[in-house]
């Protein structure tokens, strides 16, 4: 990594930490702006469309920051005491934060920008860049009905729009929109559940993106060609796809399980049923990818190759991923 990129990475982290540790709205806005101005240079890479993506990202985030600052200024003037604008301004502020994280229906910029980035910058966009807006939104929950609408829209958009995609970056982008809906539901119930969900999602995304980066693949045709040549990679990627879709007994199901349990305990049975049904669309297009990869090569998994593989860390994580739910159930029973 270049020294300048390392400096910008540190600045991105500092901006996020300023936002989530501030006790005033203006300090949160300053942290978001530092984060924005630091991520733009990291988007500049050898991909031809990276400049276009960085400009789109800057314009979108600057507009969201302007709306956020506008809401802060209006509320600071105490006008809402006379005109009863408090709840409406809070909803406007939440809309700017939802735009920053890429939640539906404010998601249109997110897949287009992802398409023009390399894999490492895509990983930052999928994980780290969502921390600050979510933490601010968590302390700014105004109306639950508004957030429930956002949750359902995110699940619908993330499921339907990902069905006909062949680009891996767009598939991960729409999957991220789907997971944003689950994360919003999680932090509406409990901060600890949101933290577990975010950590598990980040870990799975990291494993998938590192695999794609090492294989240098960007669409499904390239991925299928690589999977025919390497059974270990096929095993690793398919397990992570199952986990990303939230299929038991993989580790990706565990935070969904906690979220569903919390929703039911708070008498939100209908919302939890809608979320489970809509998430099946996301699981469908992940399963379709995996079925095609297995049909293109009928060989069974070569365990000798796994023993000889140098990617021992990947194999260990995938084994934990496979057995995670059983381990968690045993821990829950005995402890």
Rounded CA-CA distance 87/191 in Å is: 23
For position 224, what pLDDT does the model report?
A: 84
Domains contained in the chain, number: 1
Residues of the chain scoring pLDDT < 70: 1, 46-47, 78-86, 295-335
pTM of the model as a whole: 0.89
For position 128, what pLDDT does the model report?
A: 94
Instruction: Say what the alpha-carbon torsion angle 270, 274, 275, 277 is, to the nearest 10 degrees.
Output: 140
The domain in which residue 143 lies consists of 129-334
For position 4, what pLDDT does the model report?
A: 84
Domain contains 175: yes
For position 15, what pLDDT does the model report?
A: 95
Is 246:127 a contact under the CB 8 Å cutoff?
Answer: no
Domain contains 23: no
Domain contains 27: no
For position 303, what pLDDT does the model report?
A: 39
Domain contains 98: no
Q: 303 Cβ partners below 8 Å, 6+ apart?
A: none
> 168-213 pLDDT, tens per residue?
999 999 999 999 999 999 999 889 999 999 999 998 898 889 889 8
For position 300, what pLDDT does the model report?
A: 45
Domain contains 149: yes
Domain contains 168: yes
Sign of CA dihedral 292, 296, 298, 299: negative
Domain contains 269: yes
Burial class of residue 28 (count of CB atoms within 10 Å of its CB; 0-12, 13-18, 19+): buried
Rounded CA-CA distance 210/137 in Å is: 30
Domain contains 20: no
């Amino acid at each position: 990594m270049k020294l300048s990129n390392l400096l910008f990475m540190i600045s991105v982290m500092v901006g996020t930490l300023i936002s989530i540790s501030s006790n005033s709205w203006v300090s949160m806005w300053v942290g978001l702006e530092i984060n924005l101005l630091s991520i733009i240079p990291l988007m500049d890479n050898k991909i031809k469309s990276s400049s276009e993506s960085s400009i789109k990202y800057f314009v979108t985030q600057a507009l969201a920051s302007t709306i956020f600052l506008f809401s802060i200024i209006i509320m600071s003037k105490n006008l809402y005491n006379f005109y009863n604008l408090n709840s409406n301004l809070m909803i406007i502020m939440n809309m700017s934060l939802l735009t920053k994280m890429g939640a539906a229906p404010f998601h249109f910029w997110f897949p287009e920008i992802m398409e023009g980035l390399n894999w490492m910058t895509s990983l930052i966009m999928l994980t780290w860049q969502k921390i600050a807006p979510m933490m601010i939104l968590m302390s700014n929950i105004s109306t639950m009905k508004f957030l429930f609408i956002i949750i359902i829209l995110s699940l619908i958009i993330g499921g339907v729009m990902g069905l006909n995609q062949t680009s891996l970056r767009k598939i991960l982008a729409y999957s991220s929109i789907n997971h944003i809906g689950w994360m919003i539901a999680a932090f509406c119930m409990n901060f600890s559940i949101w933290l577990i969900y975010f950590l598990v999602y980040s870990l799975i995304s990291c494993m998938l993106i590192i695999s794609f980066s090492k294989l240098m693949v960007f669409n499904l045709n390239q991925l299928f060609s690589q999977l025919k040549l390497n059974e270990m990679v096929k095993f690793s990627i398919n397990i992570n796809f199952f986990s990303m879709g939230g299929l038991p007994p993989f580790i990706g199901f565990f935070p969904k399980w906690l979220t569903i349990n919390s929703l039911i305990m708070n008498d939100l049975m209908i919302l939890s049923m809608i979320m489970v049904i809509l998430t099946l669309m996301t699981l469908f297009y992940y399963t379709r990818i995996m079925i095609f990869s297995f049909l293109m090569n009928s060989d069974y998994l070569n365990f000798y190759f796994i023993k000889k593989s140098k990617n021992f860390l990947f194999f260990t994580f995938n084994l934990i991923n496979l057995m995670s739910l059983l381990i968690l159930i045993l821990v829950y029973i005995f402890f």
